[in-house]
Structures are given as structure tokens and as C-alpha cells.
Structure 1
Amino acid sequence: MSAQSIPQATSSLQMWLDYLQSIHSSAIDLGLERVAVVANKGKLTKPAPTVITVAGTNGKGSTCALMEAILLDAGYSVGVYSSPHLIRYNERVRINGHELPDQSHVAAFDYIETLRGDVSLSFFEYATLAALKQFQDNNVEVLLLEVGLGGRLDATNVVDHDVSVITSLAVDHVDWLGDDINVIGFEKAGIFRSGKPAICGQPKPPATVPAHADDIGADFYQTGIQFHYEMTSEITWSWQHGTFSLEALPIPALPLMNANTAIMALGAAKLDISDVNIVNGLKHATLPGRMQMLPGQPLTILDVAHNPHSAEYLVEQLTKRYPEQTFKVVIGMLHDKDVAETMRVLQPLACDWYLASLAGPRAASAQELSDCLENEVASSLYDSPVAAYDAAIQSAKENDIVLVLGSFHTVGEVLEYTESTTRGCDR
């Protein structure tokens, strides 16, 4: 792209996003050298007094949303950086529970463009630096940073954070992290800091995780050892760390294992949070695309589960909650995921498959998904998630549930479609 094509401070957000996607040779380019140069130049490595960085195969977004809800109830000014987005880029940066306007992102991009000079940045690196600038400018007190990929070499790891969190560990992003769980554990543990709390919400993690914490002298907290949780009734649970315990906690809408991790992370950060703040936060924490139920009939559930680990959790929860109902499964996936194993895990749940092709170089086609199914399984192929969703809705009977999953892209397209349809009906 020529110098004349560089957007200006008055350009649209979409122009900037198109530009960011065009200026680097690779969409994903792991490594901290380039992004660190720009972050140090802009003094962006400590954008808030307290920073909690969250890595993991699954559960990062939910853990951040739970911490965010608790912190907001406690009166803190809170920033959250997450990715990818479902519908709008603006979803990636939240301050006090709200997205920022286009102009805020544009101003931050314009700042980073001037700051970077001739340093080449990937889309995610550029976006991360712009987000840090916005958190810094808005004087947030606590920043929750969701790692994009891995941990050790992710752009978020240039930040001087106070607490490190690993939510879960499983094989994913094979093209970038490989399929060795010990290597994956080491990459995620790369966010740990010497002398600072490192929280692991994965029961029995690979040995590389506690070993790395020990090697660098991090204060390691492992679920099931240093902190615990258990269901105490159908509607309550308890949490314990040492002699401190919380009883009769409400079951959140987001996974309980992530609530367990979130409470430990906030405790390790030594923030001023009461039991009441925790209870209120658990009651109110939500996140689009995580067991999200759409209004109307038939019941539609959206979930961004996109690997075997997250699919197993989803099947377990849906089987427990809806034991008598049948599921029409709308699914679209990226081909660099473990498509075959994810669909195998979902097989007991699906009475009918609606297989959707996604767009883009990483997308799996509906035919690729079909090739992973047994021949006798009922399935239909569609050009897009929206077409597959429409067909599932049209064929659903009274007792059916339409389940949409497989990728942020799949859920995002259907969510945007249903929102636009609802707005059209309201006019």
C-alpha cells in the first residue's frame, strides 16, 4: 500500500481496519521484538495501575467478563481487551462495560501509525497497542487483558502485568502451537512473572506449567491444590483458598470453573472487593456467544465452542439442561481447528446437521465438515451460516433446539442476522 493510502485522523474506522489488514506480510506473526519497540516508545507497557493478563485455550473471555462484573460492582474503573469480535471491531475494547465509539479507535490507530515509524506490525499487534493507548488515556484502574494466541510471544505479553492467569489447556491452534500439550503449557505459562501471582484454573495441567512457575519464581496457585470450588446445591456453590471461604454463592450464567479462577485472580491482585461484590458480579456477568439464548421460538442457543475441549463442556451442559429435547446443529468451522474430533464430540447431541461454509483463507467448507460425518447421519450443506440457520429454523419442531456453534465467525454472522431481523420487525 502506498504512503498516499494511509488513513487520516478523520478517516472512517473501516478504512483503518482495511489498512491494518494490508500492511503486514502475515495475519499472525508471533514475537515481541517489533511490538515491544513501539510499546516502549509510547510508554504503553503499564497502561493501568493493576493489570491482569488471561491466557488459555478456552474460557478467557468468560473469566474476564466475570472479573469485570465483580470489579464494576466494587466501584473500579475497568478496561477489558478481548478478541476476536462477533459483529463489530468495537467489541474488542470495553471500558466500564461499554464499547468505545469509532472515533476513539481511529484516534488511537492514528497515534500508533505515527509512533511506529518504519516498524511493521501485524493486525493484532497494531490493535493491541491501540487498545493500550485507549486504556491509558481513559485512566482505567484495572485492566483485564485477554491473550490472543499462546502467551509467551503474544503481543499482550509486552505489558508489565501484576497477575497472570491460565484458564484451561488443550490442543488448539495446531498450525502455530503444535499438538504437544507440554509445549502448549509452556507457551501459555510464558505470561508468568517472577515474584508475582500466577493462577492456573486447569486441573492437573501439564508439568511444564508449574515447572516454569518454579523456574522463574512466580507465586503459583493451582486449582484443586491452593484453591478449590464445589457445588453445594443445585443453585449454590462454595469457594475456598486456605482458611478463607465463600459459601452459598449463586451459580453464574458463565462456566463455574471460570468463576473459580476469576475469584482467585482478583484475590491475588489484592483489590478491595467484598463478598457482596462477588455475589452481585456472579449474578450479572454475561458474555455474547457463550450459551446465549435468543428470544422467540424455536429456542436458539449460540456458543463459540470451536474445539473438542469446549465442545465437550457444551454437550455436558446442554444434555443436563435439556435432557428431553432434540438439537438441530448449525456449524461452521475454520480448517485449522480439529474439525473431525469436535464434530465427533457433538455427534450424540445432533439429530440433524446444518453444515455451513465460512468465508476467508482459514475457512472450512461445508463439504469438509460433511466428510467428517458418518454416511448415515442426516446433514445438509449451505453456503453460509445464515442460510444454514434459516433452514434449521424452518424445519424445527416444537421440541427442537437450534444450536449454532463452531467459530466466532459462525456465531457472529447469525447473531448479526437475527439482530437485524428483529430491528426490521420493530420498525
Structure 2
Amino acid sequence: MSSQRPQATSPLPVWLDYLQSIHSSAIDLGLDRITEVAQRANPSLIKPAPKVITVAGTNGKGSTCAIMEAILLDAGYKVGVYSSPHLISYNERVRINGEELADTLHIAAFDYIETLRGQTSLSFFEIATLAALHLFMQQSVDVVLLEVGLGGRLDATNIVDHDVSVITSLAVDHVDWLGDDINVIGFEKAGIFRSGKPAICGQPNAPMTVAAHADDIGATLYQVEYQYNYKQVDELWHWQSGSFDMNDLPVPNLPLANAATALMALGVSELDITDMNVVNGLQNARLAGRMQQLSSKPDVILDVAHNPHSAEYLVKQVKQRFAGRKLHTVVGMLHDKDVETTLEVLKACDPKWYLTSLHGPRAASAQELSQYLESDTPEFDSPVEAFEAALAEAQSEDVVLVVGSFLTVGAVLEYWQTRRENGE
């Protein structure tokens, strides 16, 4: 990696390598440094759009943002979405009106932030966040949907003056950074709440620290099963908050719990949205790597589930959609995840396993995964090798599932797209 500042004309990969090399640690929680840099901009980057919704949570952040995005786009708003991590290319992290931006725009934004920060050291994620905020302001979006990177209270996205706060779900994850106490995790996620503004919590029976923090700062809490609720009836579902009901809604391709939370967030946002916008948005919302089907005969499904909470949801979906079908599961994980419990949850699908090593400082090897499974489980050096082996063994009526990490799914998705481009 280079530590020499790239030129304004340098390619995007050169910039990305540089930005990942200039700070002492990949994750550096805290808001003082990034706030200082954001306020140097004129106008400040802390309010990147007239309306901003910030979304935290253990799982479901991307899906909740994608559903809100689809509804808002149908309503005619110009929408910016910031998310992480990406599956294949960095450009996935910033969407405007559902589209990724050209390399040149990202490069110009990095060049601007690099000049702005001066001697202030920032992590890669902090610079990426500021660059995204700059792009949203530059492109004059109406609404920004910000996905929190890690935790909430000390995450770089929490410098933003946002209008609605959302917690999608709460479970133990990122133990090295947030610990394994669900009450502490609840407090960290609730750190995005704002005094006098609406705060949505989509986690049933949320830890008491969430409501306590909302009370302490005077945020208006909308808790699922209390201030709003939903239920599925056959192929439709119903959503209700107070005296307001929406009935016979189409079931989205993304998790229903996240759709219900998205509707509550939009409902308190004071944005102009019709029932038809909601219906159309629910039907249009998609997100790569979330129960994403690449092909049939055999069915090939990608899902980035990487902790017990997301694995439980995935198992439920697989059992509903593919009951009685043989399952070939390609799995690669990061070693700082709860590997043992996640694999234990996935065992409920009774899969044939294809274990793959990932590569990088946080990566788990196939051998590390194998200690929690049968001794004769095949191991592979890369997700693509494991996927090719699964495809070769799968019959047309079988299902191939790729799971465990953004890195695992991203590698297979890129390989699949390359195959299609080459006409294979």
C-alpha cells in the first residue's frame, strides 16, 4: 500500500489503497476528529440533505434502507444511500437515485476530503463517510439514508444532524468492539437517538437501555409491538400504528420485519408518501446478497448472513422456500464472528458443507470452521473453488447456498457476473 498522496487524476484503486494505509487502525471509534474535519467544510458536512434518516442495528440495516429507498424513489424524491461494506466494488457504498456513481466523482470527493482533513488523522471509514456526505450535498439530494458502520454512538455516521433514528435489530455481534452484553449493545445503538426527534426500534423485547436512553434525552420512541405492529396473512401483510392502518400490502423480497420498521420511519419523517408509493416500493425493493437468487436448476442463492441472528432468519426462509430439497452450502466466515453458533444454526437445514478459507487479517480458515463440523467436510482455499465444487455436485433439483460473509458472497457474485459476461 502506498502512503504517498495520490493525484486528483489517480485511479480509484490507488486512492482506496492509500486511504486504507494512512491511519493506525482500520476501526477507530470516536467522533472528535471526524466532527472537526466535517465542520471545516463550508457549508458543514453535518447536514447533507433536508431530510436524513440514520439506520443502526445488528442485522437488517441494508434491507431497511433499500425498502425506504424504493418507496421514496417512487414518491419522486432524489435519494442518497450510504452503506457498507460492499460486495464487489467500492462504488456500491454510495447510491443516488438507485445508481452507483462514476469513479471520477468518488476520486474528486476523496481529493476534497484529503485536503480538508489537513494533519488530522482519519480512518478509511471516516474518510469514506465524509466523502459520501460531500457527494450527497454536491448532488443536492432530497433525502439521505445513512447506514451505521459499527455500533452507533461512536460511529462516524453519528456526526450527522439527522431527523429520524432507526434501530433495526439487536443481537450480540462485533464482540471485540461492542462486548457481549446486550444492554451495552442496546445503549451503543441508541446513541444515534436525537432529543425531540423520532426514534424507531424494530427489535421486539429490546433491552431496557434503549427505552431508557430515549427517555433520558427526550427522543420520541416508536417500539415495535407497542407503537407499531404488523402481521402476515397468507401472501399479504398488514401494518398498523395507532389509529393508522395499511392493509393488504405485498410481501417484499426482503425481510418483513425490516419493511415494517421502514414504514414506521417514513411515517414519522414528514415526507409526502402515498399508499401507492408504499405498495410500489415494497414490490421494487431489492438488495444484492440478501436471499439473492442467481439461477435455477439448481437454485443458486446468495445471502450475507454472518451471525446467529441473521442465520436464524435465513434458515427459516430456506425451509419455507426449499423444503425437502438437498442443500449444498458454501460457507466462509471471519474469525471475529460467532462462528460456532452460526454454523450450529445453519445445521438445521441439514446441508452438505463446502468450507472455504477467506483471506485477510480477520479471515477464518476452512480448517477453523471444520472444527465445529464433521471431520470429513471438504475444505477449499477460496469461495470460488468451493462454489465450483458445490455446483459440480448439485443436481438440477438441488439448492446451492453461499453464506457467511460479505467476502464470501462478493467473491462468488463477481465470479458469476464474469461468467455471464463471457457467455458461459
SS at match of 2:166: strand
Query: Which residue is equivalent to 1:340?
Result: 340
What CA distance in whole angstroms lies between the structure 2 residues aligned with 1:214 and 1:128?
Answer: 29
1:250-269 aligned at under 5 Å gives the runs 250-269=250-269
Whether 2:160 is the aligned partner of 1:159: answer: yes
Instruction: Give the counterpart of 2:416 among 415, 418, 427.
Output: 418
Contact 1:329 1:350 in 2 (8 A): no
Contact 1:229 1:237 in 2 (8 A): yes
Offset at residue 379 of structure 1 (A): 1.6
SS at match of 1:230: strand
Whether 2:47 is the aligned partner of 1:46: answer: yes
What CA distance in whole angstroms lies between the structure 1 residues aligned with 2:336 and 2:203?
Answer: 23
Q: Which amino acid aligns with 2:278?
A: I
Query: Which residue is equivalent to 1:31?
Result: 30
1:229-288 deviations in Å (ceiling 9; x for gaps): 0112x2100000111100000000000000000000001111000000000000000000
Contact 2:297 2:397 in 1 (8 A): no
What CA distance in whole angstroms lies between the structure 2 residues aligned with 1:48 and 1:177?
Answer: 30
What CA distance in whole angstroms lies between the structure 2 residues aligned with 1:137 and 1:34?
Answer: 23
What CA distance in whole angstroms lies between the structure 2 residues aligned with 1:80 and 1:295?
Answer: 28
Contact 1:198 1:218 in 2 (8 A): yes
Whether 2:343 is the aligned partner of 1:351: answer: no
Query: Which residue is equivalent to 2:362?
Result: 362
Change in CA separation of 1:248 and 1:2 when aligned onto 2, cut-off 3 Å: closer
What CA distance in whole angstroms lies between the structure 1 residues aligned with 2:333 and 2:209?
Answer: 30
Offset at residue 297 of structure 1 (A): 2.8
Q: Which amino acid aligns with 2:398?
A: D
Whether 2:400 is the aligned partner of 1:399: answer: no
What CA distance in whole angstroms lies between the structure 1 residues aligned with 2:350 and 2:84?
Answer: 28
Contact 1:326 1:349 in 2 (8 A): no
Whether 2:244 is the aligned partner of 1:244: answer: yes
What CA distance in whole angstroms lies between the structure 2 residues aligned with 1:10 and 1:154?
Answer: 30
1:201-242 deviations in Å (ceiling 9; x for gaps): 00010000000000000000000000010112x210000011
SS at match of 2:401: strand
Query: Which residue is equivalent to 2:304?
Result: 304
What CA distance in whole angstroms lies between the structure 1 residues aligned with 2:413 and 2:290?
Answer: 12
Q: Which amino acid aligns with 2:34?
A: V
Offset at residue 69 of structure 1 (A): 0.1
Offset at residue 372 of structure 1 (A): 1.2
What CA distance in whole angstroms lies between the structure 2 residues aligned with 1:149 and 1:351?
Answer: 31
SS at match of 1:94: strand
Query: Which residue is equivalent to 2:380?
Result: 382
Contact 2:297 2:398 in 1 (8 A): no
Offset at residue 302 of structure 1 (A): 0.1
Contact 2:300 2:401 in 1 (8 A): yes
Contact 2:2 2:17 in 1 (8 A): no
Contact 2:197 2:220 in 1 (8 A): yes
Query: Which residue is equivalent to 2:217?
Result: 216
Over the aligned positions, Cα root-mean-square deviation in angstroms equals 1.0
What CA distance in whole angstroms lies between the structure 2 residues aligned with 1:2 and 1:214?
Answer: 48
What CA distance in whole angstroms lies between the structure 1 residues aligned with 2:19 and 2:219?
Answer: 36
1:8-45 deviations in Å (ceiling 9; x for gaps): 11111001000001000000000001111111111100
Normalised to the residue count of structure 1, the TM-score between the two structures is 0.98
1:71-110 aligned at under 5 Å gives the runs 71-110=72-111
What CA distance in whole angstroms lies between the structure 2 residues aligned with 1:296 and 1:205?
Answer: 39
Query: Which residue is equivalent to 1:7?
Result: 6
Offset at residue 351 of structure 1 (A): 2.7
Contact 1:182 1:206 in 2 (8 A): yes
1:287-314 deviations in Å (ceiling 9; x for gaps): 0000000024311100000000000000
Residues 275-284 or 296-305, more deviating: 296-305
SS at match of 1:348: helix
Contact 2:297 2:395 in 1 (8 A): no
What CA distance in whole angstroms lies between the structure 2 residues aligned with 1:379 and 1:55?
Answer: 36
What CA distance in whole angstroms lies between the structure 2 residues aligned with 1:137 and 1:164?
Answer: 24
What CA distance in whole angstroms lies between the structure 1 residues aligned with 2:52 and 2:351?
Answer: 45
Offset at residue 326 of structure 1 (A): 1.5
Q: How many residues align?
A: 422
What CA distance in whole angstroms lies between the structure 2 residues aligned with 1:398 and 1:280?
Answer: 33
Contact 1:330 1:356 in 2 (8 A): yes
Offset at residue 380 of structure 1 (A): 0.5
Query: Which residue is equivalent to 2:372?
Result: 372
Query: Which residue is equivalent to 1:185?
Result: 186
What CA distance in whole angstroms lies between the structure 1 residues aligned with 2:244 and 2:327?
Answer: 42
Q: Which amino acid aligns with 2:5?
A: I
Normalised to the residue count of structure 2, the TM-score between the two structures is 0.98
Whether 2:294 is the aligned partner of 1:294: answer: yes
What CA distance in whole angstroms lies between the structure 2 residues aligned with 1:389 and 1:73?
Answer: 37
Query: Which residue is equivalent to 1:18?
Result: 17
What CA distance in whole angstroms lies between the structure 1 residues aligned with 2:101 and 2:15?
Answer: 16
Contact 1:36 1:158 in 2 (8 A): yes
Identity of aligned residues (%): 68
Offset at residue 2 of structure 1 (A): 8.1
SS at match of 1:413: helix
